[in-house]
Amino acid sequence: MPESHVTTKTEKGIATISFFTPEHNALPTAILVKLETAIITAGTDDLVKVIILKSDGDRTFCAGASFNELIAIENNTTGKAFFMGFAKVILAMRNCGKIIIARVQGKTVGGGVGLAAAADYCFATQYASIKLSEISIGIGPFVIAPAVERKIGNSAFAELTLNAHRFFEPEWAKEKGLFHEVFDKVEAMDKGIAELSQNLAFYNPEALKASKTIFWENTENWPKLLENRAEMSGNLVVSEFTKKALQRFM
């Protein structure tokens, strides 16, 4: 079985950042740090014109954060640091001056939905159903909420959050604005990604950077907002209710 990794391959101005863990692409802190670094590095590389964010493997795009790390949290400080993992990746995507395309080939849960939402353009397949399960274990999708709400709106976010045991179909995600294009087959999706990324690589990089600034208007408060949300989650995860819920889940 392949080992956990984050890799970057750049070809003709297109940087493809790939991540993988054997746990259905659930991401521990160490991998999230590498992913944040890879996005920052690609974003500051003059040879890179556009970024593709993808996970390796055939099925799950991202199962969220590492459950093993989650259940091991013993205090508020450790809890906040844990939830800052996805916060920092989302902020890196927001701050990156390059257009980021997400390739969602399969199911995505929790923080993985946040990654899809923080991308500037998102491709998916018919297998890419989404779920926010956090409420069911006594916490909530607070850190990723700003990114998801920005794409699908407050009402759809509430629907997604409160139906914590339901996988929502890709067409629902497309209708709400999370996914831009949904394909029946991975091969067709990859062809679409290649076409868009190649076009973007030839566009004026200053125009793309300016466009991204417009896409992300009114998010200047996100560094503090996401930190506050991580602290909120860190407090909840060590509560008696959540500890019991996590034990039942196990």
Amino acid at 110: G
The domain ranges of the chain are 5-201
Question: How far apart are the C-alpha atoms of 227 and 156, rounded to whole Å?
Answer: 24
Q: What is the block-wise mean pLDDT of the chain (250 residues), using blocks of 10 residues? A: 92 98 96 98 97 95 95 95 98 98 98 98 98 95 98 98 98 98 98 98 97 97 98 96 86
Say what the pLDDT of residue 247 is: 86
Give the orientation angle of helix 145-152 with respect to helix 111-118, to 10 degrees.
50
* 85, 37 contact by CB (below 8 A): no
159 phi/psi in degrees, rounded to 5: -60, -45
SS (H, E, C) 165-177: CCCECHHHHHHHC
DSSP string, 100-147: EEEEE-S-EETHHHHHHHHSSEEEEETT--EE--GGGGT---TTTHHH
Say what the pLDDT of residue 1 is: 63
Strand-pairing partners, residue 27, are 65
Say what the pLDDT of residue 249 is: 74
For the record, the structure tokens of 183 come out as 């394909």
Say what the pLDDT of residue 248 is: 85
Residues contacting 160, CB < 8 A, separation 6+? 113, 130, 131, 132, 148, 152, 168
Question: How far apart are the C-alpha atoms of 110 and 91, rounded to whole Å?
Answer: 16
Say what the pLDDT of residue 138 is: 93
19 phi/psi in degrees, rounded to 5: -130, 155
CA 25 to chain centre: 11
The class that CATH gives domain 5-201 is: alpha beta
